[in-house]
Amino acid sequence: MLEGFLLTVFACTLAIIGAVIIGALMASLRTSGNRIVRGVAFAYSDVFRNTPFIVQLFFFFYGLPEIGIYIGAFETGVIALSIIGGAFVSDVIRSGILAVDQGVIEAAKVSGLSRWTIFTKIVLPIALRTSVRPMGSVLINMVLTSSILSTITINELTGTAKIVASTTFKPFEVYLVLLVLYASLTYALSLLINTVHRRLNRAMDTGGAA
C-alpha cells in the first residue's frame, strides 16, 4: 500500500498547488470591476461546487475522449481535483480580498499606485495571508476527495487498499489501516497549514489571531 500512499500524496500535492493557483486567479476575477469577467468566474465556482465530484470526474475521464480530448487517468484526476478545489479555494480568497481594510487601499490609491499594483502588491498578498487558515478545511477535503480517484483506475491509496482487501480477504484490517493513513495524512496537512499561517502572519496583525 506504500506505493498507493505515495501516489495519493503526490496527486494531492499537485492538486493543492493547482487549486490554490486557480483559486487565487478565480477570486481575483470574481472581485473584478468587469461584469462579464466576474460572471464567468462566478459561473465556474457555482457549476463545480453544485455538482458531485464523481460525476465531474466521469465527465472528464469518460466524456472528454468522446469529443477527442485524451488525457491520462492520473492527469485527469489531478486536474479534476484542482478544479473542484479551486472553486472552493476561490471562495475563501475572495472573502479575504473583500476583508482587506479599505483605509489601507485608500492610502495606496492616493499615493498614485495603479490598480494593478494595488491589487498585486497589497490586496492579494494580504488576502492570501488571511486565507491560509480558512483554506485548511478545503485542502483537507481535497485529500479526502482524492479517494474517489480510485474509481477511474488510479491506484492511489484507496485503489490499492481495495486490491489488497480483495486478495487477502481481510477487509477489516485493511480498511482500518486505510482510515488511519488518511487521518494521519490530513493531520500532517493541518500541521503544515498552521505552520504556514504562523510564518506568513508572524509580522502582520490580520485579525486572525493564532
Partner 1 sequence: MIVIENVEKRFGETTVLKRINLTIEPGEVVTILGSSGSGKSTLIRCINGLEALSGGSITVDGNDVSTKAGLAAARRRSATVFQLFNLYPHMTALENITLAPINVLKKPRAEAEARARELLKLVGLADLASAYPQRLSGGQRQRVGICRALAMDPNYLLLDEVTSALDPEMTGEVLDILAELARGGTTMLFVTHEVEFARRISSRIVFLEQGELIIDMPTERFFAEDGGFAVPRIRQFLTKMKKD
Binders of partner 1 among residues 107 to 126 (CB under 8 A) are 107-114, 117, 121-122, 125-126
Residue whose grid cell is 498585486: 120
**Is residue 13 a contact residue for partner 1 (CB under 8 A)?**
no
Q: Binder to partner 1 among 2, 36, 203, 210 (CB under 8 A)?
A: 203
Segment 87-106, which members bind partner 1 (CB under 8 A)? 101, 103-104, 106
Compose the 125-164 pattern: x for residues touching partner 1 by CB under 8 A, - for all others. xx--x-----------------------------------
* Shortest Å distance, C-beta 85 to partner 1: 25
The C-alpha cell of 159 is what? 485503489
Q: Are 130 and 208 in contact (CB under 8 A)?
A: yes
Smaller CB separation from partner 1, 43 or 107: 107
Nearer to partner 1, 104 or 180 (CB): 104
Q: Please, how many CA atoms are within 13 Å of residue 54, restricted to the half-sphere of its CB?
A: 5
**Rounded CA gap, 161 and 142, in Å?**
19
Handedness of CA 81, 167, 182, 10 (dihedral sign): negative
DSSP string covering 118-183, please? IIIIIIHHHHHHHHHHHHHHHHHHHHHHGGGGGGGT--SHHHHHHHHHHHHT-HHHHHHHHHHHHH
Compute the distance between CA of residue 180 and CA of residue 165 in angstroms, rounded to an integer.
15
- Least distance to partner 1 from the beta carbon of 109, Å? 7
Residue whose CB is less far from partner 1, 36 or 203: 203
Q: Which is nearer to partner 1, 11 or 118 (CB)?
A: 118
**Binding site residues, partner 1, CB under 8 A:** 101, 103-104, 106-114, 117, 121-122, 125-126, 129, 203-206
